[in-house]
Amino acid sequence: MRIAFDFDNTLIRSAHPFPLETPKRRFWARLLGKESLRAGIAELAAHCQRQGWEVWVYTTSYRSAGYIRRLFWLHGIGLAGVVNQARHVREVRVRSTKYPPQFGIDLLIDDAPGVGLEGERYGFAVLVVSPTDAEWAAKVKARL
């Protein structure tokens, strides 16, 4: 199974001040890290990887894939793939904000209700989690 997480407001603070993970590589995080990931993602990603599932990021951000991979590495998480806005524009022909089937993604975790509606319209699985939901990781596990 291939699971993808949205970035802004789902795993990265933008408009909502949710709790953050403590980076596993603290020294490097102080030097290289400008952002931190949402609390719960490290254990959730580890759970997925123990099941043999791939963890991806699918974002409308133009942050580079290298930057995103490095941020996850700082938190001890290896990513199997990254789709940023540049890759989406280059490879996706469906008129949708995100289109996970193009990349073999089975479930997208996102904060935007609009992406949930696009999932219904285009036939892909989306779990919408609120940036204010303290139990978001448990809801993802329950869905998986």
Query: What's 96's domain CATH number?
Result: 3.40.50.1000
Is the pLDDT assigned to residue 1 strictly greater than 90?
A: yes
- Residues of the domain holding 17: 2-143
How high is the pLDDT of residue 36?
86
Q: How many domains does the chain have?
A: 1
Is the pLDDT assigned to residue 55 strictly greater than 60?
A: yes
pTM: 0.91
How high is the pLDDT of residue 111?
96
pLDDT tens readout for residues 21-46: 777 766 556 667 678 899 999 999 99
- Write out the chain in H/E/C secondary structure: CEEEECCECCCECCCCCCCECCCCCHHHHHHHCCCCEECCHHHHHHHHHHCCCEEEEECCCCCCHHHHHHHHHHCCCCCCEEECHHHHHHHCCCCCCCCHHHHCCCEEEECCHHHHHHHHHHCCCEEECCCCCCCHHHHHHHHC
